[in-house]
Chain A
Amino acid sequence: MIALFINWVEGEDTVPVPEKDSPSRNPGREKRHSTKVSNRVGSSSSHTKELTLLYDVLSVVVCLTVICALLVTVSWLPKFGSSDNPAENEVYTRYVESELREAGAVNTVAGMILDYRAFDTLGESNVLFVAVVSVIILLRADRKGKNHTLNLPELATTPEEKPDDEILRFSARILIPAVLLFGIYVVLNGHLSAGGGFSGGAILGGAMILYVRAFGVEKMEKIFTFSTYKWITFGALMTYTLLKTWSFYTGANGLESGIPLGKPGAILSGGLILPLNICVGLVVACTMYAFYSLFSKGGFGNGQ
Chain B
Amino acid sequence: MATVQNFPFAAIMLYLAGGVTCCVLKPKASKVVCLLLNSLVTVLMFAVLLYTVRTGESYVYWMGHFPAPWGNEIRIGPLEALMGTAFPLIMTLTLLGGMEHIFEDVEPEKTNLYFTVVSLLMVAMLALIFTNDLFTAYVFVEINTIASCALVMLKYRSGRALVATTRYMMMSLLGSGLFLLGIVILYSITGHLLMEPMARKIRELFSTGNYAFPLTVTVGLFAVGMALKSALWPFSAWLPDAHSSATVSSSGILSGLVVKSYIILLLKIFYRVIGIDLVYSSGITNILFLFGFGAIVFGSFYALREKDIKRMLAYSSVAQIGYIYLGIGIGTSLGAKAACIQILVHAITKPLLFCTAGAFMSASGGSRRFENLRGAGRRDLLSGIAFTIGALSMIGIPLFAGFITKLHLTRSLFLFGTWKFWFGIAALVISTVLNTLYYLAAVSVLFQKVPGDSPPVERPSASLFYRCSVIIFSVLNLLYGIFSEPVTQIIQSGLSLFS
Contact = CB atoms under 8 A, between A and B. Distances in A.
Interface of A: 8-9, 11-12, 17, 19-24, 30, 33-34, 37-38, 41-42, 44, 69-70, 72-73, 76-78, 85-91, 94-95, 102, 115-120, 122-124, 126-127, 129-131, 133-134, 136-138, 140, 142, 148-151, 230-231, 233-234, 237-238, 241-242, 244-245, 247-254, 257
Contacts of B376: none
Given A89-B192, A129-B120, A38 B163 contact: yes
28 contacts: A9-B304, A12-B307, A21-B158, A21-B161, A23-B157, A41-B167, A41-B241, A73-B214, A91-B191, A91-B192, A95-B70, A116-B66, A117-B64, A119-B63, A123-B136, A123-B139, A126-B16, A127-B142, A131-B146, A133-B117, A137-B153, A142-B109, A148-B157, A234-B21, A245-B13, A247-B64, A248-B9, A250-B65
A134 B149 contact: yes
A72 B127 CA distance: 33
Given A126-B120, A150-B162, A151-B159, A70 B65 contact: no
B23 A234 contact: yes
Given A42-B237, A86-B189, A133-B116, 6 more contacts: A37-B159, A88-B191, A127-B146, A142-B109, A238-B21, A241-B16
A151 B157 contact: yes
B464 interface: no
Interface stretch (B30-38, B180-188, B320-328, B383-391): B180-188
B357 to A, nearest CB: 15
B182 to A, nearest CB: 10
A127 to B, nearest CB: 5
Sorted nearest first, the 3 A-B pairs with minimum C-beta distance are A86-B191, A119-B72, A251-B65
Contacts of B120: 126, 129-130, 133
Contact of B1 (A41, A127, A233, A254): A254
A126 B150 CA distance: 14
Given A76-B214, A78-B189, A134-B150, A91 B369 contact: no
Contacts of B305: 8-9, 11, 44
Contacts, number: 220
Interface in B201-222: 201, 211, 213-214, 217
Interface string B2-14: 0000100100010
A123 B63 CA distance: 12
A260 B30 CA distance: 37
Interface string B101-120: 00000010110010011001
B183 to A, nearest CB: 12
B72 A118 contact: yes
B64 A19 contact: no
Nearest to A43: B237
B214 A77 contact: yes
Nearest to B158: A21
Contact of A124 (B139, B164, B167): B139
B213 A72 contact: yes
B185 to A, nearest CB: 6
Given A120-B72, A241-B17, A252-B6, A86 B201 contact: yes
B414 interface: no
Contacts of B291: none
Nearest to A249: B6
B: contact size bracket:
35 or more
Contact of B70 (A91, A248, A257): A91
Contact of A126 (B24, B143, B160): B143
A122 B304 contact: no
Given A21-B161, A42-B237, A245-B13, A251 B139 contact: no
Contacts of B1: 252-254
B16 A122 contact: yes
A21 to B, nearest CB: 4
A76 B211 contact: yes
B352 interface: no
B283 interface: no
A19 B150 contact: no
Given A12-B307, A237-B20, A248-B9, A86 B107 contact: no
Interface string B123-146: 100010000000110011011001
Contacts of B19: 126, 129
Contacts of B146: 127, 130-131, 134
A92 to B, nearest CB: 8
A118 B110 contact: no
A54 B135 CA distance: 38
Contacts of B6: 249, 252-253
B13 A34 contact: no
Contacts of B155: 21
B211 A130 contact: no
A104 B487 CA distance: 47
Contacts of B24: 230-231, 234
Q: Of residues A150, A233, A242, A252, which shows the largest number of chain B Cβ atoms within 10 Å of its Cβ?
A: A252
A119 to B, nearest CB: 4
A230 B158 CA distance: 27
